[in-house]
Structure 1
């Protein structure tokens, strides 16, 4: 598997966290070592261990970094949302988000899955992911409120969970299986996820039913 593209930060701590995310995505949880992050960051051996002495502290730092990156992304989306945006227009954002997460650069998604697995046994990682989920839900709820939707963090949290599960399925299953189970149209999937999780948004837009497979 090719190593996913990683973003570069001028801040050493952030750089190491970004590279830890990249290693998680490329190599999985077992491949996340201090030396692997040193190599990915192109820093002297031992640098990562100086910043994050234990593997758990490295995992927690990676989860915290992802929390900040996700909050920034949702914040930018909210800040650039035009006034008067409609629920239908908000719904149309989700197919694009799903496409980017799965088809363009799955680094964040793959790393997220690995962190979720680690969180089952590591309380510190679980707490970091909990902060991420809560932050994402509040930010998404604010976007929904701007469109005149109920804007409940609970609804936004359910939508995030639907989104994650769907995205993982799209990455894991072969195309033939996705066609068999009716998940080969990313546009339809993204729209349906939104309508399934957010109340007061009847799935009355026929456009996605006419769209061909985008996967």
Structure 2
């Protein structure tokens, strides 16, 4: 197996693009080579088989979405109120929507995971870790809401992103920000009333 990290990343990025555009059936080593504009046979030198490629694509998706150091801390600066949570959620929806091919590739991987136990294990671990990280971060930051708040926001906003990327005419683009705010408003617990 080849070990050039930049080439491996380029091949995985190409695989993400192929998955998003062609679906799981279109993901072949030759398609990845073509997308990455490398000689035929290059992808097969980096990945032992299709399962290995799919697993590595799953890792690469999260690698590309991980914010730079300090970005997360900067996002959490500000008031601990529903308006700030709504801003954070709108930013998150935009960040995921901006990586359209990655999100669509992840959907393909999730469907394929129903047939591939190793891929299912990887995605289950990775998504669970992501949810746990977000829960811990939310609770440590003192934002309103609890663990269930984070889970419900995760579920609702992921479906909104799915609609936005796959059926963009269901909700007009200019309504997305308002819909995110509405989800946050309805999910967050009502503020405590003064005694």
Instruction: Identify the TM-score tier after normalising by the shorter chain.
Output: 0.7 to 0.9
**1:26 equivalent among 18, 21, 29:** 21
Structure 1 gaps of 5+ residues are 1-8, 203-215
Equivalent runs, 1:50-199 vs 2, <5 Å:
50-70=45-65, 72-73=66-67, 77-87=71-81, 88-102=83-97, 104-145=98-139, 146-150=141-145, 152=147, 155-173=149-167, 175=169, 177-178=170-171, 185-197=175-187, 199=188
Structure 2 gaps of 5+ residues are none
Distance 2:168 2:122 in 1: 32
Q: Flag the structure with higher helix content.
A: 2
* Conservation of the 8 A alpha-carbon contact between 2:75 and 2:88: no
Distance 1:185 1:84 in 2: 25
Distance 1:59 1:117 in 2: 12
* Conservation of the 8 A alpha-carbon contact between 1:84 and 1:147: no
Distance 1:129 1:76 in 2: 26
* Conservation of the 8 A alpha-carbon contact between 1:75 and 1:139: no
> How far is 1:196 from its partner?
4.8
Please report the TM-score for the alignment, with normalisation by the length of structure 1: 0.73
Please report the TM-score for the alignment, with normalisation by the length of structure 2: 0.79
* Change over 3 Å in CA distance of 1:81–1:107 after alignment to 2: same
2:7 is aligned with 1:17: no
Distance 1:23 1:110 in 2: 10
